[in-house]
């Protein structure tokens, strides 16, 4: 795996978030109200569900991705395609020797289509099940759609699971670049909300849909850099955060966490000398995309500091006080001029963790 990769572009399709500055503001502000949506289960005896959610999100697919055939593409694949098409790809795209990889993470890709296949197969003759639903129910739908539509000839694959899958997708893209299997990568994550996904959604979090994509390049130069991916258990990950916070030379400027466990976030934030932000509180429950958005959110916060695009603040739990990112009294003036570093951390309910360091160069 390379020591680091550079973020060359970002594409976003999120509820009420249009760009990186808006993402940085969303992470640091109070969560907006969710919209109540009703989810039916056609052709079944199941009762509809009504739940507040962040969404729906319109894909708004850019023209460079083409328009023909989009009506048959599942909604999550459309969100993935729209975010990827907004992300600058390498100049070699659409050439026979292009090796730009597409690596995606999702907890919900193909789930509504698979449920529909099962429902139709149980109520109709096999020959009446829509043929297009079969391939659409495969989890690799978003990655394959991005790769085909954007003419990228490198490897494409999808990681499924919880929040750690989003960070693991970035680690896999870095590995492909390091081994020479890919010269660059479009890596992303997506989520949708359906009647079927709500059956396992935590009650204390707002389900959300959306997509995000990063263009990664091994070249150096100025920009946001991703490095040091670690996959371990919660005990070791917590010890690493505490040890890093204890030394000024290793202390991050902030921590962005993706996990459904709000109590864990409060415990990790308690007593830390840096601000801590929670993806699920700010953006909603996005499954595997939550871990990926912890990295994208960390990049947005780093970019906000670098560009001086307004104060990026943390709301303190004690007294409602706020302090700007990186304004730690322990840091010297020299340290404040050093690169901004934010740690992205994803934690599964079982205790598995993945972390990635995001910094300015």
**For residue range 281-295, what is the model confidence (pLDDT) as tens digits?**
999 999 999 999 999
CATH fold for domain 4-217: Peroxisomal Thiolase; Chain A, domain 1 (3.40.47)
Q: What is the pLDDT of residue 66?
A: 86
Q: For residues 82 and 73, is the Cβ–Cβ distance under 8 A?
A: no
Query: Could you give the residue range(s) of every CATH 3.40.47.10 domain in the chain?
Result: 4-217
Q: What is the pLDDT of residue 325?
A: 53
pTM of the model: 0.88
**Mean pLDDT, residues 82-93:** 75
Residue 137 or residue 349, greater confidence? 349
- H-helix segments, 33-130: 75-85, 111-123
Residue 154 pLDDT > 80, yes or no?
yes
Residue 219 pLDDT > 50, yes or no?
yes
Residue 212 or residue 141, greater confidence? 212
DSSP strand E in the chain: where? 4-14, 35-39, 49-53, 100-106, 156-160, 184-191, 210-217, 224-233, 254-258, 276-278, 313-315, 322-324, 341-347, 352-360
Q: What is the pLDDT of residue 319?
A: 36
**Mean pLDDT, residues 118-135:** 73
pLDDT classification of 89: cutoffs 50, 70, 90: low
Q: How many CA atoms lie within 13 A of 47 on its CB side?
A: 2
- Which DSSP state fits 1? -
Residue 257 or residue 118, greater confidence? 257
Residue 243 pLDDT > 90, yes or no?
no
Q: What is the pLDDT of residue 96?
A: 58
Q: What is the pLDDT of residue 317?
A: 39
pLDDT classification of 1: cutoffs 50, 70, 90: low
d(CA 80, CA 139): 13
CATH fold for domain 224-360: Peroxisomal Thiolase; Chain A, domain 1 (3.40.47)
Q: What is the pLDDT of residue 95?
A: 58
CA-CA-CA-CA torsion sign (199, 202, 205, 211): negative
3-state secondary structure of 204: coil
**Mean pLDDT, residues 113-137:** 75
- Check residue 55 and give left, alpha or beta (phi > 0: left; psi -120 to 50: alpha): left
Mean of pLDDT over the chain = 85
Residue 215 pLDDT > 90, yes or no?
yes
d(CA 334, CA 326): 12
């Amino acid at each position: 795996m390379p020591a680091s990769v550079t973020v060359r572009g970002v594409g976003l399709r999120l509820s009420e978030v249009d760009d990186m500055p808006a993402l940085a503001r969303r992470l640091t502000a109070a969560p907006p109200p969710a919209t109540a949506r009703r989810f039916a289960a056609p052709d079944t005896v199941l009762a509809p569900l009504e739940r507040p959610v962040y969404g729906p999100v319109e894909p708004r697919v850019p023209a460079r991705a083409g328009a023909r055939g989009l009506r048959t593409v599942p909604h999550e694949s459309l969100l993935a395609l729209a975010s990827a098409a907004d992300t600058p790809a390498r100049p070699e795209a659409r050439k026979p020797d292009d090796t730009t990889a597409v690596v995606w993470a999702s907890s919900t890709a193909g789930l509504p289509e698979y449920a529909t296949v099962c429902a139709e197969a149980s109520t109709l003759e096999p020959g009446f099940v829509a043929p297009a639903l079969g391939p659409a129910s495969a989890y690799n739908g978003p990655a394959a759609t991005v790769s085909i539509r954007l003419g990228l000839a490198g490897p494409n694959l999808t990681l499924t699971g919880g929040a750690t899958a989003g960070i693991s997708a970035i680690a896999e893209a870095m590995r492909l670049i390091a081994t020479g299997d890919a010269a660059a990568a479009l890596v992303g994550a997506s989520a949708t909300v359906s009647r079927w996904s709500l059956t396992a959604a935590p009650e204390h979090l707002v389900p959300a849909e959306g997509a995000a994509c990063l263009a990664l390049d091994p070249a150096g130069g100025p920009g946001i850099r991703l490095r040091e991916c670690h996959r371990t258990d919660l005990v070791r990950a917590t010890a690493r955060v505490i040890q890093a916070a204890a030394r000024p030379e290793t202390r991050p400027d902030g921590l962005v966490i993706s996990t459904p466990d709000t109590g864990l976030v409060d415990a990790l934030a308690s007593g830390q000398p840096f601000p801590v932000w929670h993806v699920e509180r700010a953006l909603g429950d996005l499954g595997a995309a939550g871990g990926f958005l912890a990295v994208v959110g960390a990049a947005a916060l780093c970019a906000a500091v670098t560009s001086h695009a307004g104060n990026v603040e943390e709301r303190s739990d004690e007294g409602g006080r706020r302090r700007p990112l990186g304004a730690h009294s322990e840091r010297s003036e020299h340290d404040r001029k050093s690169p901004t570093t934010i740690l992205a951390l994803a934690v599964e309910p079982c205790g598995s963790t993945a972390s990635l360091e995001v910094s300015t160069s």
